[in-house]
Structure 1
């Protein structure tokens, strides 16, 4: 059987290439709205960050997303992102890798 290619993306926080499934995409649309893109397919400028809560705290402290996406990001968005990542990690532990 032929092996499938695994799409790789760069994690903004650690600056390393990782499989796309292990990252979450953050998108800024034309109206400068920022949101989490669980599908990875929404239109707009995107950036990938790790699905580890500790890394999200680092991103908040260093303001990595602001530098990459070129907009001001509120602390509330970082809190929302942290909650999303916590939820995804809990799902992974509960249901395993899919």
Structure 2
């Protein structure tokens, strides 16, 4: 029997991907919002795909606010997403 693959939806393009193929943004109990590279940090999570346009749209249109159920400062999350884009291997 095949193992079930967890699927998640990108907050920007609304497409479904395997959880491991998305970037998780987590809002922790102390109010901080950050990129979760392991996918296991405690707190409410929202996912965005690796497409640079999706990342840009998610920040500009406050889509993380809806997914995380709290206000997300674009100046806080944008540099973290930029770092993820730089670290991503070229395909």
State the TM-score, normalized to the length of structure 2: 0.84
The structure having more radius of gyration, on CA atoms, is 1
Give structure 1 regions of 4+ aligned residues with deviation exceeding 3 angstroms: 2-5
- Pairwise CA RMSD: 1.8
**Would you say 1:34 and 2:24 are equivalent positions?**
no
1:77 CA displacement: 2.2
Corresponding pairs, count? 91
Equivalent in the alignment of 1:19? 18
Indicate yes or no: 2:44 matched with 1:45: yes
- Can you give the 5+ residue segments of structure 2 that lack an aligned partner in the other structure? none
Note the residue ranges of structure 1 that are not aligned, 5 or more in a row.
none
Q: Kindly report which structure 2 residues correspond to 1:1-98, keeping only aligned pairs within 5 A, or say none.
A: 3-89=2-88, 92-93=89-90
Q: Greater helix percent: which structure? A: 1
Please report how far the alpha carbon of residue 64 of structure 1 lies from its aligned counterpart in structure 2 after TM superposition: 0.3
